[in-house]
Structure 1
Amino acid sequence: MLRNAFEPWHLILIIAVLVLLFGSKKLPDMARGLGRSMRILKAEAKTLKADEPDAAARPEAAPRPEAAARH
């Protein structure tokens, strides 16, 4: 259904609408801001992945005290 979703004329039309809405002077600033936010998101995701092995190393599969008290 979405096999040929974006063709070159679709992209040209999207770019033209963006230029008309925001003007050619604001587009570089918007692209710069988007790039900065993507870099921040990437750095935060990398730190979350780096913290993940520490959490996996903790033995969370040990029985809980309340579960052991019931047996």
Structure 2
Amino acid sequence: MAATAIHVVPDDNFDDWVVRNDNGHEIGHYPTREEAELAAHATARELQTKLIVHLPDGRRKCESFTKGWLAKLLGS
């Protein structure tokens, strides 16, 4: 089953950032949010899914890499 989203979350101590899928499977740990976002961006693009960055203040930043129906129809 394909992942529906890739998440970037701070770890429990807020000293590094974790990239994981919806099932909670950790894909990687990174020392900065920027590095985690770069890795997650590439993974989400490859899997054609959503990227959700969970910020320490509780906000979320979302980006979608899913193909629309027209792109799927044309095979792009």
Normalising by structure 1, we get a TM-score of 0.27
Higher RCO by CA contacts (8 Å cutoff, separation 6 or greater):
2
Between structure 1 and structure 2, the one with the greater Rg is 1
User: Which structure is higher in strand share?
Assistant: 2
Normalising by structure 2, we get a TM-score of 0.26
